[in-house]
Amino acid sequence: MSEIGIISNPHAKINRNDPEHNTLIWYVLGNKGRFEVTSSPDDLSKVCRSFAERKVDIIGIIGGDGTIALTLAAVLDAYGEANLPKIMLLRGGTVNVLATNIGIYGKPRDVLSDFLEFFHSSNPLYEMRVRSLRINDHLGFLFGTGSAVTFLEDFYKNKTSAWGASRFFAGVVADGLVGGRLTGQARRLTQQQTIHLSVQHQAQVRELEFRAPTLLASSLPKLPYGLNFFPDLANTTQHAEMIYSDLDLSGFTREVARSLFRTDKKKSKLSRISFSEAHLSFEGASKYTVDGEILEAPDGKVHICLGPIFTFCSPYGKILESSE
């Protein structure tokens, strides 16, 4: 019988908003698994090593994308790539893009209850394999620069809710569609930067230099707000993809708006590249984001390559059909 371990980030949005939330999770879990609250990276490492020693083979995570990335890095360090446990995402963070990509919605206590009910039935949990990315010294699934960083900085500065962020996003798109004549936010968010890019895929290397407001790289099909920029990644773990655009403000914003409703990438005017490894160089120090965390490359250089594959389990069905 598999053993379950739950790791909760006390700083996750749901725990900040409800100080009794972890007690509720402990009550729901009961004697069906181990429950740990980790307040620091050291705590997280110790818990993951303890889980590995006890051969815990399903680890649940309460928190958003940033918490998940840190936890998976600690799990990888404790277990080793050849012996990784299965992962169940319980949500609970400010940003929950990874959970959404694999079809996990709802409050952590409800998701955990569904997991436990399904786990103890005669039906096996659905499993999905997802490729991670190594971005400089960080593990994650989504990378962005330029506009992506500026948007997140505004979001964190205003400390708004997910609904408030959605309204802000919609306002930026509307402003961009009319060339920045409404509020000027879109023009500020889409300042172009020079990017030198070296990408490798299937033994081929390409060298590119261009100016663009942002470059996004992902091993997941969907970005925040349901932007289905990378539909092919629902069916493979063999490569990641990146997109960028040298369109003007209105053209770039139209592509973003269309991506909310369109899955046919052949009609897209965004430049798309499949890759297994990429080197990016910017003019001077540059900020970038990994799974919602804002980081900085002091030398203006970012290295991205394929990371380990993690198996995520769900009681709700199989959303991703990743192949070997």
* Domains in the chain: boundaries: 4-124, 139-308
Q: How much is the pLDDT for 113?
A: 94
Cβ neighbour number for residue 102 with a 10 Å cutoff: 22
Closest Cα to residue 234, out of 257, 256, 265, 205? Answer: 265
Judge if 4-124 and 139-308 fold alike in CATH terms. Answer: no
pLDDT at 263 over 60: no
Whether the Cβ atoms of residue 7 and residue 36 lie closer than 8 Å to each other: yes
CATH no. of 4-124: 3.40.50.10330
Q: Please, which pLDDT band fits residue 245 given cuts at 50, 70 and 90?
A: confident
Whether the Cβ atoms of residue 130 and residue 312 lie closer than 8 Å to each other: yes
Q: Please, which pLDDT band fits residue 260 given cuts at 50, 70 and 90?
A: low
CATH 3.80.30.20 fits 139-308, yes or no: no
pLDDT at 323 over 70: no
> Could you say which DSSP state residue 286 is in?
E
Q: How much is the pLDDT for 73?
A: 97
Give the global pTM. 0.89
* DSSP strand pairing (86-92 vs 58-63): parallel
Looking at per-residue confidence, does 310 or 94 come out higher?
Answer: 310
